[in-house]
């Protein structure tokens, strides 16, 4: 995506990482594939988009990244283990 934006002569100076979804239920009842999809969207895509756009922001000394977590980032949640853990990652990654 970053290459296409650059090819168009555009510059991203605001990146809002707000995509995400949560699963709910007993951990052993939720499919591993669905949990992996949740991790990929809530964590991996946020890290990848930050990798794609932060270097140009730093180089140009212009830009802001907003990573949206959740109150779930501050506590473990019954029946939402992966969601809460993924949002805790977002909070920790952002603060780091």
DSSP annotation of 66: E
Quick one: which H or E segment has residue 16? strand 14-17
Determine which one of 17, 43, 72, 83 is catalytic: 83
H helix runs in the chain, sequence order: 2-7, 32-39, 45-60, 81-95
By the 8 A CB rule, do 73 and 91 touch?
A: yes
3-state secondary structure of 37: helix
Q: Is 83 a catalytic residue?
A: yes
Residues with catalytic function: 83
């Amino acid at each position: 995506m970053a290459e296409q934006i650059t090819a168009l002569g555009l510059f991203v100076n605001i990146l809002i990482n707000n995509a995400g979804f949560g699963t709910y239920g007993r951990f052993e009842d939720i499919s591993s594939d669905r949990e992996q999809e949740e991790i990929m969207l809530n964590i991996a895509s946020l890290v990848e988009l930050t990798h794609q756009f932060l270097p140009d922001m730093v180089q140009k000394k212009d830009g802001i990244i907003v990573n949206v977590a959740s109150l779930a980032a501050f506590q473990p949640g019954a029946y939402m283990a992966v969601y809460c853990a993924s949002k805790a990652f977002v909070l920790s990654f952002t603060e780091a």
